[in-house]
A and B are shown apart, each in its own frame.
Chain A
Amino acid sequence: MKVRRTGRGNLGWTLVAALAGIVLAALWLAPLLWALSTSLRPEYETISPVFHWLPREWTLEAYAKVLGAGNVPRWLFNSALVAFLVTVVTMGVSLMAAYAFSQMRFRGRDALFLLAMLAFLLPFESLLVPLFRMMNSLGMINSYAGIVLPQVVSPVVIYVFRQFFDAIPADFREAAILDGASPWRVLWSVYLPMSGNIVWAMAIVTFIAAWNNFLWPFIIVTSSDMMTIPLGLTQTYDAFGVRYAQLMAAALLGALPVALAYLVFQRRVTHGFLAATGLKG
């Protein structure tokens, strides 16, 4: 990445590109900065007829209110718990399945794998009605299990892990098996350590997706107590009325964990998303 790849260009092109790059970046960050600026005002300033880019009086009052009263802390907790459970279970289920699909020999393996990949084609949205009916009859409406379980079916993750396992030379596995290791042992001590980066990448991407998932929690959760933050935020008008400083504070609090995860792990997130779309291994 040391040389510009899309051509050397002359100074004029470089200036145009630099200008376009900066203008677009400013446009893309502006809504977030404006939300931040709003969240740091006292409430009366947000409805003031006089317009100011920055708060005239800087205050963390909105954050204190949002965290001190109402359901926002509870929603943040629910989101953290749900995203964590979805990530851990998805990784466990998918790693085991990918290992079996990639490294083990059994009758019907390819047919089963194709069937699993069918889930690529059918959009989750089309399953909502029967899924809700099933959860209803199992008494799992408004339960963590009900929120988490349908989210752990992830053929994409299995596909990516299987591709990765396929590329690991079989010698490693055979040596371990000769030493008497069970398949679990081989997966855990041989394949997993060699797959660190891709596992991290998929775990972060899964976590972000689970934190942000709106549709399924929207269907399965009806009680305010069980809402995750993306769902809870849509209820905030009821909670705060038209208090824009508090709404923006709540929105930014809900975005903070995923924004941080992204900014800290940008390379891994990038890698994970690209692996998920099948463009890069």
Chain B
Amino acid sequence: MPARRRETMPALLMLAPFLAVFLLFFLVPAIQTFYLSLTESSLTRTSAFVGLANYATLVQDPSFWASLGNTFYFALLTVPPLTILGLLMALLVDRFTRAGPWLQGAYFLPFVLPISVMTLIADWMLQPSSGIVNHLLGMQRAWFADVHWAMPMVAIGTVWWTVGFNMLMFLAGLRNIPRELYEAAALDGASGFALFRHITWPQLKPVAGTALVLQLIASLKVFGQTYIMTTGGPYNTTRVTLHYMYETAFTQSDAGYAAAIATAFVVIVVLLSLLQGWVARRLGGSS
């Protein structure tokens, strides 16, 4: 083992590019977000230090709470189907030796598409007059202009687009289950659903916990889908928290307040990340 001193300089040289981009494009902006949230600032200029004034405004801002409500509504509409369908797809892919990779390809392909490809196709399929969905349903509904349907339609588009990732996580979990467990159970006469209930599911629970919380965090970070498909409408029913932050910063040029929204948002996401560890441990411990 070479002496510590001899490696410090080369090590720092190796790390220099990473440290430079990390400092400039992560650490400094992260600190600045918090600092900005304590100031009154425009998009280009920092003016007065105002302490916690932005946060005082935030807790009484109905638009903020509405956007948070919309965000959680989106999460509610997406997290359960994404988790359940992801599990179902993984079970199907895992069950068929020959056809499995083909099924996996079909389920995962939408996930690698750019968001605007997903939204363009959804928009075309949901066109009021010439859209295929209305044609099949015999309707002329303008889905994205409908206060009841706009968010569910964004959610359906999102499920189609991203479920492949959850499938992949469950698939990895399934492949890690020792085959001997199934062989032993089969000798005991178990089959079909009994195998799933007594072996697959208990072994898969930690993965399910992780998938659920990762999905929740990803869903809370929604912005592109709603922004492109509905621009937050109709009547702001699909304007989510990050959209509100974006508008505050880049349309209203109120960077201080936007930073406060961002900080509040980070606190929520970090709390949920910590929850992930807790949930995963609990599910892992009980299996």
Please report A residues at the B interface, Cβ cutoff 8 Å.
Answer: 1-10, 13-14, 17-18, 20-21, 24-25, 28-29, 31-32, 34-35, 38, 46-48, 51, 92-94, 96-97, 99-101, 104-107, 109, 112, 115-116, 119, 121-123, 125-134, 136-137, 149-150, 152-153, 158, 177, 182-184, 187, 208, 211-212, 214-215, 218-219, 229-231, 233-234, 236, 244, 247-248, 250-252, 254-255, 258-259, 261-263, 266, 269-270, 273-274, 277, 279-280
Contact = CB atoms under 8 A, between A and B. Distances in A.
B22 A2 contact: no
User: Which secondary structure dominates chain A's binding surface?
Assistant: helix
Interface residues of B, number: 105
Contact of A28 (B27, B107, B199, B262): B107
A28 B14 contact: no
B275 interface: no
Nearest to A262: B112
A20, A34, A214, A219 interface centre (most CB from chain B within 10 Å)? A214
Interface string B8-52: 101110110110011011111110110010000001100000000
Contact of A262 (B32, B108, B117, B130): B108
A137 B44 CA distance: 8
Contact of A5 (B101, B132, B179): B179
A200 to B, nearest CB: 16
Given A5-B174, A8-B186, A125-B265, A21 B92 contact: yes
A35, A48, A230 interface centre (most CB from chain B within 10 Å)? A230
Contact of B191 (A10, A137, A263): A10
A137 B43 CA distance: 11
B94 A248 contact: no
A153 B21 contact: yes
Contacts of B179: 3, 5
Contact of B192 (A7, A130, A183): A7
A229 B114 contact: yes
A97 B92 contact: no
A263 B17 CA distance: 33
B96 A21 contact: yes
Contact of B196 (A7, A133, A134, A208): A7
B228 A234 contact: yes
B147 interface: no
A3 B115 CA distance: 37
A155 to B, nearest CB: 8
A254 B130 CA distance: 23
B94 A5 contact: yes
B142 interface: no
B197 to A, nearest CB: 11
A133 B195 CA distance: 57
B224 interface: yes
Given A234-B119, A273-B168, 16 more contacts: A4-B96, A6-B195, A34-B132, A35-B120, A93-B21, A105-B1, A107-B4, A116-B22, A127-B29, A128-B262, A129-B249, A153-B25, A233-B114, A244-B124, A262-B109, A279-B172
Interface in B107-141: 107-110, 112-117, 119-122, 124-125, 127, 129-130, 132, 135
Contacts of A130: 28-29, 32-33, 36, 259
Contacts of A29: 106, 109
Which 6 residue pairs spanning A and B have beta carbons closest together?
Answer: A7-B195, A130-B32, A230-B114, A97-B18, A233-B116, A25-B106
Nearest to A48: B130
A114 B11 CA distance: 16
Given A125-B242, A259-B112, A96 B192 contact: no
B279 to A, nearest CB: 16
A106 B7 contact: yes
Contacts of A34: 121, 124-125, 132
A219 B250 contact: yes
Contacts of B149: none
Contacts of A126: 30, 33, 262-263, 265-266
A153 B108 CA distance: 26
B18 A96 contact: yes
B101 A266 contact: yes
